[in-house]
Amino acid sequence: METNTTDHQFHGSPDKRDKSSRKGPKTRISNLLFNPSGPKIRSSIPAHHRYCDDEFHRSATEIPLKFIDRRKITMKIMKTPLMLLVCLAAFVSVVYCETPDVLTIPPDLKVPKVTTGKPAPGKRVLQALPQYENSDVRHALYLPTDWEEGKTYPVLVEYTGNNGTVRGGKACQGYGISGGKEFLWVCLPYVSEDGKNDMDWWWGDPDRTAVYAKAAITAVCEKWGGDPKAVILTGYSRGAIACNYIGLRNDDIAGLWLGMVPASHYDNRRWGMSPAEFQRGPQRLRRLGDTPQYVCGEHHLATRHTDPKLLKMMHDRKIKTFETAKKELNIIPMTHQERIREFITQNHPAANITYADFPWVNHTGDWILRDTRERRKLRGWVQNLLAKTSDAEAITILTLGDSITSRGDSYRSVLVPALKDKGVAHELIGPNKDSLSRHAGYGGRNTKYLLSISKEIYRKYPADIVMIHSGHNSFSKDKPVPGIIRDTKAIIATFRSINPKVTILLAQSITAGKLPKYSYLPELNGELEKLSKRLESKESKVILVNQADGFDWKTDTIRDKVHPNASGAKKMAGKWMEALLPLLRR
């Protein structure tokens, strides 16, 4: 899905713009000068704006409306003293056009300096992960001025451009988006290959950098109230490229982001990478999935250039307006000049992209510190993103089984914190509760018993996803496999009768060394695989989770040779996570 927030609706052709945009300002200005009484409306024309836009009102100026008819306006102007006409002409010439040099607009934000010490509201403080205490690698944490302990805040994460480090303090995108309020802001390093420095030019060790990012974001969320479900990645220039190059480096880090704002460049060229890394760009892009991106940038010449060169050309030709620069220099959006749109369309046509082409030529991150229409639109996009998240309901999960599910030292001891760490919206539900979570695990019980209580449980806890691990607590001498399969099939049918769209994660049982009691488990696992294929449907998925594969009861169980130890719990949780994460992210 692609949304274009610029093009002709904002920067339309000069002729159309003259006719449409001048009508409003002329009416307001003439009435302001010549009719001090009569009906009034509210309007605003910030001094630095180069044309008027009713969509964004910042301050209230009372403007009378008596003279709406153009003929009356003309008559009034003809009777006006010459000085007023001169002032009027100068004022109109200012509000009609945008400046092609965004740095001529005075900044309204000043980024806090990077300091050391304890984080506090309004301060930007260096922080270190424990393993990097003896290095120069740091991240910077800014707590908003309205920060209060115990509250939760969305998190803006930023990578700097080239010639910038965390200590250097050049990062400003996150501060400009938030205005210093309501968001935690984290600036991350590019970790060098030896792990000792923050790189000021290109990448260092991208894998180390990605690992650092995940650890730092987790620490910030846990200690300072960051919302792991509302983490937004941004960056300017090199930082824009890093949104994909680092932020989509693997599936693990790709799952962190609620959205991304790459400003001025994109991960579609070599950009200091090896040829092999460059070739993996499309693969990184596809990891984006449906995570929204706000892809933005300035205007360029059609050929390669630097913005000082372009600014000099405009100065030499005395070009004062963006529309004139477009006409005389044939400048085009960076998203076209660098073929960013083409790259995304070819490699991930379903990507959720909003494009914004800035009406200036400067290659600078400092644009975000100025009150422009483009900044207001970006802030609106971020707020809409957060609103959708707050409205979304968490996906509910029911874990069903025997003591392998119910025990506090089993797979849930690893799975529960791992899900929390991922920041995906979910809720574990069920009739039983311990220090980890709610669940539907029943020690010593077999599948037949679970069937007898399945309707009662699921009516009270109709989860979106049900995880079933049940096959133990029977005896090989009783030839239990057909009965277990029959009961498992009936349990799934019960759930589907209550919720036709339920998703079932059906586990093949972990192996056990308690023999000959559990010698039937390999046969059972083969039949469970067949059952999952028979029960699969479009409305209600049955996903087989092979918990037996890679699980060795000799090394992965406690002394009873049945229940998983720490190693076994980790293996089980990993298998569950592989099946769960795609469902939760979707």
User: How many CB atoms lie under 10 A from the CB of residue 436?
Assistant: 17
- H or E stretch covering 163: none
User: Is pLDDT at 56 greater than 80 in this prediction?
Assistant: no
Assign 3-class secondary structure to 353-368.
Answer: EEEEECCCCCCCHHHH
**pLDDT at residue 73 in the model:** 40
User: Is pLDDT at 67 greater than 60 in this prediction?
Assistant: no
Assign a CATH topology to domain 114-391.
Rossmann fold (3.40.50)
HSE-CB at 226 with a 13 A cutoff on CA atoms is 28
User: Is pLDDT at 19 greater than 50 in this prediction?
Assistant: no
**pLDDT at residue 509 in the model:** 96
The more confident residue out of 306 and 241 is: 241
**pLDDT at residue 97 in the model:** 45
Burial 437-452 (b: 16+ CB within 10 A, else e): bbbbbbeebbbbebbe
Q: Is the peptide bond before 144 cis (omega within 30 degrees of 0)?
A: no
d(CA 527, CA 540): 20
Per-residue pLDDT band for 82 (boundaries 50, 70, 90) equals: low
Strands 299-300 and 332-333: antiparallel
Which three-class secondary structure state does DSSP give residue 23?
Answer: helix
Per-residue pLDDT of 128-171, as tens digits, reads 999 999 999 999 999 999 999 988 999 999 999 999 999 999 99
The structure tokens listed for 183 are 């968001």
**pLDDT at residue 45 in the model:** 33
* Residue limits of CATH 3.40.50.1110 in the chain: 395-585
* Range 246-262 average pLDDT: 93
Average pLDDT, the chain: 84
**Residue of 373, 114, 388, 368 lying closest to 234 (CA atoms):** 368
User: Is pLDDT at 49 greater than 50 in this prediction?
Assistant: no
* Range 529-558 average pLDDT: 94
**Phi/psi class of residue 122: alpha, beta or left (left: φ > 0; alpha: ψ in -120 to 50)?**
left
* Range 478-484 average pLDDT: 96
Assign a CATH topology to domain 395-585.
Rossmann fold (3.40.50)
**pLDDT at residue 303 in the model:** 81
Per-residue pLDDT band for 104 (boundaries 50, 70, 90) equals: very high
**pLDDT at residue 287 in the model:** 92
Q: What is the dihedral of CA 382, 349, 240, 189, to 10 degrees?
A: 90
Sign of CA dihedral 118, 124, 130, 132: negative
**pLDDT at residue 52 in the model:** 29
* Residue limits of CATH 3.40.50.1820 in the chain: 114-391
Dihedrals phi, psi of 452, to nearest 5 degrees: -65, -25
d(CA 246, CA 206): 6
The structure tokens listed for 400 are 């069903």
Lowest mean pLDDT among 86-95, 182-191, 291-300, 327-336: 86-95
**Inter-residue contact 34 to 1 (CB < 8 Å):** no
* Range 54-71 average pLDDT: 34
Place of tokens 């056990």: 512
d(CA 487, CA 451): 6
User: Is pLDDT at 173 greater than 80 in this prediction?
Assistant: yes
Question: Measuring CA to CA, how many Å separate 486 from each of 2, 343, 399, 447, 490?
Answer: 48, 51, 20, 9, 6
Which three-class secondary structure state does DSSP give residue 498?
Answer: helix
Q: What angle do CA 3, 5, 8 make, to 5 degrees?
A: 115
The structure tokens listed for 314 are 């405009």
* Range 393-410 average pLDDT: 91
Which three-class secondary structure state does DSSP give residue 288?
Answer: coil
Per-residue pLDDT band for 293 (boundaries 50, 70, 90) equals: very high
- What angle separates helix 14-34 from helix 70-78, to the nearest 10 degrees? 60
Question: 186 pairs with which residues across the strands?
Answer: 141, 157
The more confident residue out of 533 and 41 is: 533
Per-residue pLDDT band for 13 (boundaries 50, 70, 90) equals: very low
Mention every residue, 6+ apart, whose C-beta is less than 8 A from residue 455.
494, 498
- H or E stretch covering 296: strand 293-297
User: Is pLDDT at 376 greater than 80 in this prediction?
Assistant: yes
The structure tokens listed for 551 are 């699980």
One-letter amino acid for residue 360 of the chain: W
Q: Model pTM greater than 0.95?
A: no
* Range 294-299 average pLDDT: 96
Sign of CA dihedral 193, 198, 204, 208: positive
d(CA 355, CA 360): 15
**pLDDT at residue 497 in the model:** 95
Mention every residue, 6+ apart, whose C-beta is less than 8 A from residue 499.
458, 462, 464
Dihedrals phi, psi of 282, to nearest 5 degrees: -60, -35
DSSP E strands: which ranges in 445-565? Answer: 465-469, 503-508, 542-546
Per-residue pLDDT band for 8 (boundaries 50, 70, 90) equals: very low
DSSP E strands: which ranges in 248-381? Answer: 259-263, 293-297, 299-300, 332-333, 353-357
Per-residue pLDDT band for 304 (boundaries 50, 70, 90) equals: confident
**pLDDT at residue 390 in the model:** 62
Per-residue pLDDT of 257-275, as tens digits, reads 999 999 999 999 999 999 9
**pLDDT at residue 94 in the model:** 40
One-letter amino acid for residue 563 of the chain: H
One-letter amino acid for residue 540 of the chain: S
- CA 65 to chain CA centroid, Å, is 45
**pLDDT at residue 96 in the model:** 37
